[in-house]
Amino acid sequence: MSFRGFKTKAAFMSFVRSGLRRMWSRQYLPKRVFIASARRRVPLGRNGAMIWGGVCEHCNKPHKAANMEVDHIKQNHKLTEIEDISNYCDSLFCELSNMRYLCKPCHKIITYAERNNMTFGEAKAEKQAIAFGKLPVEKQNKMLQQWDILDDKITNAKHRRRAATLHYLKEQ
């Protein structure tokens, strides 16, 4: 099969996937209906003023509308082959009962957990450890000291990240 205008099949499939997700995100009426039914006035404006937002279905905390996202409860199928398009569309353009309103942090952690076959707690600890690993080494070492993690075996980035992951898991 020719992928005219695209260097590879992967580039073409990425283009198709992106276009479908953009249509779901911007134009899919059931999603817009879902958001309209899920959004609430929350006291997060200046001086506690009520503004449009929602309550995350996972953490049960109120968030501004800009910090909320619609998640598929039953995750989307992969779209790596032309033959996958039908199943992908069926799962992407789903019923309202397969949607939930989540804050961006919970949505990112849930997606990471699903993709890596781990619990929410494990995924949250991993995401925190990833952010920890992006800090300067001096700051990482200082944080490890503050956490009373003083081990001569923690000599490189991989060891520091593992120590941070274990710390964040214990913290939950």
Backbone angles phi, psi at 101, to 5 degrees: -100, 115
Beta-carbon neighbour count of residue 163 at 10 Å? Answer: 20
How many Cα neighbours within 13 Å face the side chain of 59? 18
Among 54, 96, 51, 53, residue whose Cα is nearest residue 73: 96
**Structure tokens belonging to residue 48:** 């506690």
Instruction: Return the pLDDT at 5.
Output: 84
Beta-carbon count within 10 A of 72 CB: 15
pTM confidence score: 0.84
pLDDT of 164 reads 94
* One-letter amino acid of 11: A
**Alpha carbon distance 126, 145 (integer Å):** 20
Place of tokens 């120590």: 163
109 band by pLDDT with thresholds 50, 70 and 90: very high
| β-strand pairing of 51-55 with 40-42 | antiparallel
Distance of CA 127 to the CA centre of its chain: 10
**Predicted confidence (pLDDT) per residue in 24-80, tens digit:** 999 999 999 999 999 999 999 899 899 999 999 999 999 999 999 999 998 877 899
pLDDT in tens, 124-164: 999 999 999 999 999 999 999 999 887 778 889 999 999 99
Evaluate if residue 1 carries a pLDDT over 70.
no
Query: Of how many residues is the chain composed?
Result: 172
Residues 6+ apart with CB under 8 A from 81: 13
β-bridge pairing 68-72 and 62-64 = unpaired
